[in-house]
Structure formats: structure tokens, C-alpha cells
Chain A
Amino acid sequence: MPAEFMQDFASAREVNLMRIKDAKENGRKVVGIYCTYCPQELILAAGAIPVGLCGMSEAPIAAAEEHLPRNLCPLIKSSYGFAVTDTCPFFHFSDLVIGETTCDGKKKMFELMQNIKPVHVMQLPHLNNTQAAFDLWVDELRRLKSRLEEELNVQISDEDIWQAVDVINREKQAIKVIFDLNKADPPPLSGIELITVAWSRNFSSNKVEMIDKLNGLADEIGQSKKKNGVHSPRVLLTGCPVGLGTEKVIRLTEELGAHIVVMENCSGYKTLELQTDTSGDDPIVALAEKYLSIPCSCMSPNPGRLELLNRLIEAFRIDAVIDLTWQACHTYNIEAYEVSRLVKQKGLSHLHLESDYSTSDLESLKVRIEAMLEMVEK
């Protein structure tokens, strides 16, 4: 990746922090979000800035464990830890925080978080193939819209939502184009670069400007000369969310000479193909359809993830799959069995890793990843 672009994305978090601070001082509202299920379009339509609250650091976990059990996933503990220690500036600036009932740990954690900040929790159905589940989700979107209107003291029109739909559709498409560049061999972007771009955009205070940046990056890479080099193993990363701060598996894999060419997880390809349909009358219904088709392990059943993995393995000419489960994430941990069956049926190497945010297991992760790569090189 061109160095100046990389720098630009790597510093996005800090730069945007100052811009969000300024915007707040000028009366703009900020809404913190955690998950890909959160309909950002409604926040944009309300004239507020949606910011990603990451939960991707080991630092606040000890503080979180004063209230939460230890054997809980590190993402939940980190999110809560940032809140309770007030050490995440984005959380600090948020006027409202939106959560979803994606798993038991999160929904109960959000109950505690309400003591610190106004938190709106969306009741996410756990199946996406019945009318009742769909109707519930449509209601939940309407309830969120009312809460935003009330909390931020605005009126959200359908026209506002359709405009926001267009912005997010274009943003998804722009990131998808960048991800798809890595179908080339060797891939133009390393896994670390990919996560830097995908992750940093969550902190942007100006979506339209971010889309221009993403398109600029795609053009730049498209025009730059193809890298030459020997074929290195092409690895797909799936499983729990990964962000900057928790990229140890990506880093180790690339230090061992392989490429993470694509990520299926929610910081990666999981939502990139999902475009809100703009042909209908009701933007809320259109949003509900899009969001309910996210192939997350919290859905039961969740055949969409296996279908997506299957397609990505072919399209990106994958040699090996690493499935990363954060400790105590039951839904991804259980789906790991189906994922391993799919990958092995395709005759590829597969590695399921269970880890947390600490660095205590770097050596044991390394030995496993190295052994898997030795299998590929045979």
C-alpha cells in the first residue's frame, strides 16, 4: 500500500478524535456503536456522528473484572472496562450508546453499562427466517428511531434515512472494492494493512470524505505496479471480531511468511456484500432486511456464514483457514466445528484458535500457526 495512505488511515483515530471534539463543541451529537447490527443509517439521518466503540484493548479488562466475571469474552470485558474507567474518548463523547442483544454476555453487560451512560439496547431476534422475527426487528428499528429523535431532539424523515442509506451503501461498496483487490496473487495489501483500513473507517467523523479516501486508495493500488514474488500461503481469517489492538493472530501469521488475504469476520467481508435495497417505500423495512441477513454466529441457524466462507475460499484462492474464537464466545466456538468440516472437505488446512487479548499465549499460537503453514507448504 502507498505509504502516505497507510499513514492517513493509521492516524485516522487520533485525527477524528479532535474533529469529533470540535463538532461536539459546535453542538453536534455523537452516538457510540459496537456492532455491525447497529443501523448507522438512522444515526446519520438524525444528523449525529456514529463512532465505533471498539473494546479491542487488554488495558481496561482488569477494571471490568471488578464487576464482571472473569470467564467472559474479552471483547465484552474490554468494552465495559473502557466505560467504567472512562478511558475511551469516543465513549466519553457519546451522547447515547447503542447495544444489541447479540449474545447473553453483551445483553447483561449493557444492563450494567446503563449506570454509566444512556444505553439503548436493540432486541435482536436469534433467527432470521421467520416473519415474527422480521416484524420484531422492524419494530426495534422504529423504536431506535424514536429514541434517537427523543434523545437528540430531532425529527428523522424518510428522506433523511434514504440519503443515509445511499451513503452507507457507497461506503460498503468502496471497502469491498479494496478487499477484492486482494484476489490478486501476490495480494497488494497485507492483512495488517487491510485491518488498518477496515478498522480505522469506524472512527471517521465524515463518511463522505472517508468514501473518497477509500476510492482514492483503491485507484492508487489499482494503478501501482503488481508486486512480484514467490507464492506465499494465502490464509483466510474467520471467527470473532478483530481490530487494531487485537491483531496478534494476523501479525504472527504474516511474520511467519503467509498472507492474510481476506477476513470473513465482522471487521471484514461479513457485511461488505450487503446493500440496502432502495426500491421499496419504507426505508425502515429495507434496513431491517439488510441487517437481518448478516451471517453472524448469534443467528440460529446460520448457513449464510458457511456459504460466504465457501465463496471467499474460491474467489481468493485460499490455501488455509484460521478460525479465531475469543475465549468464552460460545456461538463462534460451536460453529468452529462446522467451519472445520467445510474447510477440510475442500482439502485445505484448518486451524481453530482460542485466545484472549493478552500476549501470554504468543508462543503457543505461533507454534500452531507455524505447524499449519508447514502443512500447506508440503
Chain B
Amino acid sequence: MIGMGIDIGSVATKGIIVRGDSQWQAMVPTGWSPRNAGQSIITQLLNISGIDRQEVERIYATGYGRVAFEEADKTLTEIKCHARGIAELNPEVRTIIDIGGQDSKVIRLGEKGRVVDFAMNDKCAAGTGRFLQVMATALGLDVSELGQAEEPARMMSINSMCTVFAESEIIGLLARGNSKGGIIAGLHQSVGKRVVAMARRMGVNREVAFTGGVALNPGVKRALEEEIGCMVIVPKTCQYTGALGAALLARGW
């Protein structure tokens, strides 16, 4: 059985193809056309795996761009796909914190990747990758540099949760000569606080996994660990969890 999973996110489109125990993965920026991004992932996955399109039994799509993607045999929510993906990577996980480009979510799991409860934030950029991207620009950095640049020992707390106000707040802090590293640590703390508050409404059970593009940022991982008070697991393929879940479900449980 060969299954393919495509996760069309707001920033990046991720894909995984699974045949038996082998899997191949690919990622492209989503850009302005979720459909083209999905299509290009299918081509890439077929190329790198050497699998023929005819051999692929099913393609399942997830992520915000899934609705416009006609190649998919079925669409599933990110919630279900992340749960299935994590169950494969680490069956001990009971709480997933996923922070993507435009939303963040917390999923509570039972045994075997069964979803027990979930909460999502997507009305506002606070607590998402978008928030960090805006702040990185204000600090003259690329969003990928934030994790390395933080200095937790000199942390400045950021009081504004709102992206617009937080941006003016950090410009003010910079003007008063505060260190960039301390400001960045404060931004990470602010994202951590926001997301953990959402998680606490449902209850946080161990083990806790952190997924999504923002999980590549070790500063946010640190902040989450401080707020929750326990270790947080970041899978090596943290950006691919949703695509992996979709691929496994497409292959058949």
C-alpha cells in the first residue's frame, strides 16, 4: 500500500509519501497558490521516491489550503492528521502543541492517536509564527535567526499580546537601548504564555510534543518548557507531522 499526505499550510506546503516502512518527504513555500504548491509537492515526491503516480492508492490533504486541492481523494483536518502523525513518532505523547504560520493549536490525545479534545487560536496573529515573523522584521532579522539570537538571562518582558502593539513596544525598547537578545527572549516568552494558557484550559498531560514550523525555534521550546514546567519533545520532522499523519491515514491505519 502506498499513501501520500499533503499538508498545505499558510506558509509552507509539506508532503510525505509512504510505502511499507519507507517514506520520502518534500516541502515548498505555499506562496499565493495553494493548489500549485500541492501539485509541485506531488511531482517532487514521485521524483525522489521513484514511485509512479498510478501506484499511489490514495492522496489525503490537510491544512488550510486543502479545500482548493482537487487532486486529493479526501481531506482531513489538521487536528486528526497531527494526532495520527505524533502517534507514529512517539506513542507516549498525550498533548500536542502545534504552532504554525497563522494558527496555533493544542490537541489532547488518548491512546493510539485518538483525539480527546482540542483548542485553536486563529482569529489573531498573537501566539503564531506570523507574530514572530513581524517581530523579526522589526528587529532586522530573519525569523529563522530568532532562536539563536535570544538571551534569556537578559529577558525583557513584552506586555502587548497584540502583534501591532507588540511591534511598537519592541521598537520603544530598542530605542531605550535594550539588547536585542533580551527582547527576543521576551517575545518567545510571550508566545509561550499565550499558547500554554490555551492548553491549560483543557489540561496538559505528559508527554508533551511541540510541532509546526515554530518548533524549529529553540527559544520558543524553552519558553514552553518554562511555562508548562516539564520537558517538551520536538520531533526531528516537526514540520511534517500533519503530512505524515495524512500519509499514514491514506495508506490505511
Query: Could you tell me which A residues sit within 8 Å of B by CB distance?
Result: 344, 350, 361, 363-364, 367-368, 370-371, 374-375, 378
Contacts and interface: CB of A to CB of B under 8 A. Distances in A.
A361 B79 contact: no
A371 B122 contact: no
14 contacts: A344-B117, A361-B123, A363-B67, A364-B122, A367-B64, A367-B120, A368-B120, A371-B78, A371-B80, A371-B115, A371-B118, A374-B76, A374-B77, A378-B115
Contacts of B77: 367, 370-371, 374
A373 B79 CA distance: 11
B118 A378 contact: no
A256 to B, nearest CB: 10
A361 B124 CA distance: 11
B80 A374 contact: yes
B26 to A, nearest CB: 24
B79 A371 contact: yes
A378 B78 CA distance: 16
B206 interface: no
Contacts, number: 32
Interface in B82-108: 103
B115 A375 contact: yes
B114 interface: yes
Listed from nearest, the 9 A-B pairs whose CB atoms lie closest are A371-B79, A371-B77, A374-B80, A370-B77, A364-B122, A375-B115, A367-B77, A371-B118, A374-B77
Given A371-B77, A371-B80, A364 B120 contact: yes
A118 to B, nearest CB: 39
A368 B107 CA distance: 12
Contacts of A378: 114-115
With a 10 A CB-CB cut-off, give which of B77, B114, B120 has the most chain A CB atoms.
B77
A374 B78 CA distance: 11
Contact of A364 (B80, B116, B123): B123
Contacts of B117: 344, 350
Given A367-B78, A368-B120, A374 B115 contact: yes
Interface residues of B, number: 16
A363 B122 CA distance: 10
Interface of B: 64, 67, 76-80, 103, 114-118, 120, 122-123
A363 B64 contact: yes
B112 to A, nearest CB: 10
Contacts of B114: 378
A42 to B, nearest CB: 42
Nearest to B76: A374
A374 B79 contact: yes
Nearest to B202: A340
Contacts of A374: 76-77, 79-80, 115
A367 B100 CA distance: 15
A368 B80 CA distance: 11
Contacts of A361: 123
With a 10 A CB-CB cut-off, give which of A344, A350, A371, A378 has the most chain B CB atoms.
A371
Contacts of A375: 115-116
A344 to B, nearest CB: 8
Contacts of B80: 371, 374
A258 B140 CA distance: 49
A372 to B, nearest CB: 8
Nearest to A364: B122
A143 B218 CA distance: 67
Contacts of A344: 117
A344 B64 CA distance: 28
Contacts of B67: 363
A352 B77 CA distance: 17
A228 to B, nearest CB: 25
Contacts of A363: 64, 67
Contacts of B122: 364
Contacts of B116: 375
A216 B123 CA distance: 45
Contacts of A368: 118, 120
Given A350-B117, A367-B120, A374-B80, 20 more contacts: A344-B117, A361-B123, A363-B64, A363-B67, A364-B103, A364-B120, A364-B123, A367-B77, A367-B78, A368-B118, A370-B77, A371-B77, A371-B78, A371-B79, A371-B115, A371-B118, A375-B115, A375-B116, A378-B114, A378-B115
Contacts of A370: 77
Nearest to B116: A375
A371 B78 CA distance: 8
Contacts of A350: 117
Contacts of B123: 361, 364
Contacts of A364: 103, 120, 122-123
Contacts of B115: 371, 374-375, 378
B205 to A, nearest CB: 15
A50 B249 CA distance: 55
Nearest to B121: A364
B81 to A, nearest CB: 10
A375 B114 CA distance: 8
B221 to A, nearest CB: 25
A378 B122 CA distance: 26
Nearest to A355: B123
Contacts of A367: 64, 77-79, 120
Nearest to A337: B201
A364 B118 CA distance: 13
A363 B79 CA distance: 14
B149 to A, nearest CB: 32
A289 B115 CA distance: 44
Nearest to B115: A375
A357 to B, nearest CB: 15
Nearest to A360: B123
